[in-house]
Structure 1
């Protein structure tokens, strides 16, 4: 089953989504996907991974990490399906990152690898945009790279764990304006989801709604205002986002 958070007629609703992408509200109403504003399906902290695919590390000419290279993203960075993300003025290179996201479903502390998936609510998709101009070093993205307002589309929904029987064997793809730019597989993750849940929960308590963004494979390309960027994780979801200029984004925010 797929679970979404949406805004309709000024109110936030939790909805289930059927195989035809029709949204079912708790009061029985049915809505088409273009009738609603899609919100990020979870809004806890996001623990994101750098260089968690060996092919992506090679693409950037770095050795694969020997332990997770993690950083935290704040909820202010999230935006929903069919939303816009802004490209800062006067930057040379901004790229997408198609990622499978594990969503925590109950408090997790000192979880063993073999029990890890029982702590998940399910899976979603994110596009973890990065501006490489602002990157200080390969393992520690600074706040300007990864915590900019509305630069992490998440969604469209959360898919139940039972509906994704093998998260370690899913295809990830990214298109810019309909042209396939990135294709990889979660088989190439260096640290898989059970490992990451065990790792994070060994020194902190993961809370319901927290998310683990598991990294992106090779195949990066620059995005510019006017581009439509679609990221897709097989069996989980297809997330659409459009790039606008900094001036247009903040002009609309003030309007």
Structure 2
């Protein structure tokens, strides 16, 4: 069995690389796109999709490749992550997110320590984050065995474009982006609203999964015993 330190290392390292990909590709895209925001967002999307797929495949067997406090929280609620491991997982993810932002800055010769000035607030953006996170959790929970990596990566790529917020869908990502005044950044004043929407979305996604989940044999027996089953 993989021990806790190795799991936490995988979560911290995976989240760090994910944030370096998101922020670094945003910096590169903005430099090369010549002011065309659509092209910059497309480049940012493609890099994130490819990187996320690889990271899930690489770190999934070690820690589950959550890289996301909302995912870890739902897994703890479902009993798939021991409750005692939840806070260490979240701490590793948040630390990794900050280190990933700093790594992106170092690679592009930017000041390491930054605060984002990019405001992202408003009802539409918060709804978008709730939708993006709900969809992410639904994909994770309902993905067939061995299919989670491509399905999650594809969903995030789509959500970059169909949500008004460009789909952060991850409290750790929002936290890490706060430390980067770049294309992918988010101002500290905006982070709280994003995180609240993401947590709400994660719970909604879990609820939808439960509503879609077929009843167990035990549940069917209870229904039949109560006389609620339809006659043949």
How does the TM-score come out when normalised to structure 1?
0.28
User: Highest Rg: 1 or 2?
Assistant: 2
Greater fraction helix = 2
Greater fraction strand = 1
